[in-house]
Amino acid sequence: MSRFGLTVAALVLLLGTGTFFVVLSLGGEEVAADEAALDTSAAAETSTSSTSTTSSAVTTTTSSTTTTLASTTAPTSSTTTSVASTTSTSTAPTTTIAMPPFSSSVSTPTADQLHASWEPGCPVAPEDLRLLTLSHWNYAGGVSSGQIVVAAGLAADVIDIFADLYEAGFPIERMELVEQYGGDDNASMAANNTSAFNCRLVTGGSSYSEHSYGRAIDINPLVNPYVKGSTILPPAGAAYTDRSLDAPGMIHAGDEVVQAFAARGWIWGGTWSSLKDYQHFSTTGK
């Protein structure tokens, strides 16, 4: 190839690398010098590119190898950064436990099932009552199944009320038929037992209680006591006459319990003026 041809070829090559030379002479020595400069520049350019690539690789991965001492320290710093980033962005798996669904069932109680709470002469016959089995939250934070007896015509509303209480997470310590306490209302209250039907006289009176008709319910009576002057029932309920307390199972004006009963037309004894029966809800206000 002629010297002119070599010069043009070199110029084209240099243009490809982004480097420009002005050729002042076509002499053989100058062409050779330009060729040498070309080789040196290309080698330097290649080395720079290679080094840059290697440095970049070192920054992003610990498996790359560098040929200079300065870039050798980069992998350690990069590795630390990468680990820290992994630690901060990792998310621990979470487990969501679904709330068990509310359940209820209805049946007609027999006289034998009501052996301690009903007797001939009571104002309501067993066939006019309904035995409800309902799920509820207990004081331990779990779900229990309890039973309560109410008037047949009120069964659907009572189921809805307890469904609302369940949805709200309101705790009921226990809900057993008063037969478990021999029909003794005082023993049932002392055990903080939620109950309804019990053919008995009104407290301190001679007429039948609303409970005798299955149209009154007492909720957590220990922490929601009956209070009339110095009379507190159950007696241990004296610890809960301060209604600013917020103990589990307590009922307060306007809370989810009062609202659930009020939505079905039931009246809370906590609103009475002559006495306070914080446990008591009835359809008649008595």
pLDDT digits (tens, 9 = 90+) for 197-222: 999 998 888 899 999 999 999 999 99
Residues 110, 79, single domain; the answer is no
Residue 98 domain-assigned (yes or no): no
Same domain, residue pair 242 and 153 = yes
Task: Specify the pairing of strand 143-151 against strand 276-277.
Answer: unpaired
Does one domain contain both 118 and 72?
no
Q: How high is the pLDDT of residue 33?
A: 40
Sheet of 226-228, strand order: 231-233, 226-228, 276-277
Q: Would 95 be classed as within a structural domain?
A: no
Looking at the domain assignment, is residue 266 inside a domain? yes
60/79 Cα distance (integer angstroms): 8
- CA–CA separation, 16 and 101 (whole Å): 75
Q: What is the Cα gyration radius of the chain?
A: 44
Q: Are residues 77 and 109 in the same domain?
A: no
Clarify whether residues 132 and 215 are in a common domain: yes
146 and 41 in a common domain: no
Q: Would you state the pLDDT for residue 255?
A: 98
Residues 69 and 183 placed together within one structural domain of the fold: no
| Assigned domain for 32 exists | yes
In a domain, 208, yes or no: yes
The predicted pLDDT at position 99 comes to 87
pLDDT of the residue at 220? 98
Q: Which of 31, 48, 83 is the last residue of a domain?
A: 83
Work out the angle at residue 64's Cα, subtended by the Cα atoms of residues 58 and 70, and round it to the nearest 5 degrees: 50
- Is 18 contained in some domain? yes
**Looking at residue 204, what is its pLDDT?**
82
Task: Say whether both 162 and 250 belong to one domain.
Answer: yes
Confirm whether pTM is higher than 0.95. no
Domain shared by 264 and 159, yes or no? yes
User: How many distinct structural domains can be found in the chain?
Assistant: 2
**Are residues 74 and 151 located together in one domain of the fold?**
no
Q: Which residues of the chain have pLDDT under 70?
A: 1-96
pLDDT at position 72, please? 40
Residue 91 lies in a domain: no
Residue 177 lies in a domain: yes
Shared domain for 109 and 62, answered yes or no, is: no
**272 plus 148 within the same structural domain:** yes
Its domain, for residue 49, covers 3-83
Model pLDDT, residue 205: 84
Domain boundary (52, 83, 114) is at 83
H-state helical runs in the chain? 3-17, 28-60, 69-72, 74-89, 155-168, 185-190, 256-262
Of 83, 114, 131, which marks where a domain is finished? 83
Q: Which structure tokens are listed for 216?
A: 């009154």
